[in-house]
Amino acid sequence: MGRPGDIRLSFDGAAEIYDAIRPAYPAAMFDALFEMLPRNPAVVEVGPGTGQATRDLLARGAVVHAIEIGPSMAATLRSNLPSDRLRVTVADFEQVAIAAGSADAVFASTAYHWISPEAQADRPASILRPGGVVAIVDLIQVESPDDDGFFAACQPIYERYRQGHTGPPAPTRDAVDPAIRRMLSDDPRFHDVTVRRFDWNQTYTAGQYRQLMLSYSGTRMMDERDRSGLVDDMAAFIDQHFAGSVTRPLVVALTTASLG
């Protein structure tokens, strides 16, 4: 379990919102992943949330051990996907006991940045069978005319509430280079490090974008007054200046590497 005040647990208070607004992932991404795995692979999924990716893992025949730190998230996941091929454990991935050499894949979708750098390679190396695959998904916004200038135009609203971004969008799809790729490339235990990129624009109404913001840890950690002000102002801005809907130009980056 997480420590009191652990930012990772901020999602747990928004399990219902998270489940409703966070989208699934491109089918082509799972197709690429499962080409690397045996039939009915044993997959350890890190930070599954309410099952946005778990559903696709199960649909392709995987036997999934999902490690979720949030009790409410885990409960929603179990309710969403009752299956005898899904085991959900409420625990911290860095601390939970998992048998050595027991998994064909360690998989995480938009959750692996919460794992400490020293554990990001060590844990998969201990869990995977020889030849097993670590597969990490990052979701990255890119510069594109598809957003009609929304990203730049909305920055003053974030600044008003002292909520800055970690950086601008990637300039192009091909410029997306996840940090996990560099880390795995430098680790002699892993080989065949590959990044596959999938275009994945997402369009939201003003109300949906408001809910999306409420599912993010940065927004969850704000005090209630500022949080409400931020999401309400953003929704009003989208209604007034973008005819009620906006598109986020995204790239889903699947980084994979094989052990041994």
Is 64 among the domain residues?
yes
Residue-wise pLDDT tens digits, 209-236: 999 999 888 888 889 999 999 999 999 9
Is 190 among the domain residues?
yes
Is 189 among the domain residues?
yes
Please list the helix, strand and coil fractions of the chain in percent, rounded to the nearest 5, in that order. 40, 25, 35
Alpha-carbon dihedral sign for residues 13, 17, 20, 23: negative
Is 50 among the domain residues?
yes
E-strand stretches of 151-212: 190-199, 202-205
Q: Compute how many other C-beta atoms are within 10 angstroms of the C-beta atom of residue 244.
A: 14
Alpha-carbon dihedral sign for residues 230, 232, 235, 239: negative
Is 210 among the domain residues?
no
Q: What does the alpha-carbon distance between residue 32 and residue 243 come to, in Å, rounded to a whole number?
A: 37
Residue 258: HSE in the Cβ half-sphere, 13 Å Cα cutoff: 9
pTM as predicted: 0.91
- Number of domains, the chain: 1
Instruction: Give the SS3 label for residue 41.
Output: coil
Q: How far is CA 254 from CA 26, 179, 189, 204, in A?
A: 11, 12, 19, 24
Is 99 among the domain residues?
yes
Residue 18: HSE in the Cβ half-sphere, 13 Å Cα cutoff: 26
Residue-wise pLDDT tens digits, 85-127: 999 999 999 999 999 999 999 999 999 998 999 999 999 999 9
Q: What does the alpha-carbon distance between residue 205 and residue 16 come to, in Å, rounded to a whole number?
A: 18
Is 161 among the domain residues?
no
Q: What does the alpha-carbon distance between residue 100 and residue 154 come to, in Å, rounded to a whole number?
A: 47
Residue-wise pLDDT tens digits, 12-51: 777 889 899 998 899 999 999 999 999 999 999 999 999 9
Tokens of 45: 């999924």
Which CATH number fits the domain that encloses residue 30? 3.40.50.150
Is 110 among the domain residues?
yes
Residue 93, domain extent: 7-143+169-203+249-259
Q: What does the alpha-carbon distance between residue 103 and residue 134 come to, in Å, rounded to a whole number?
A: 10
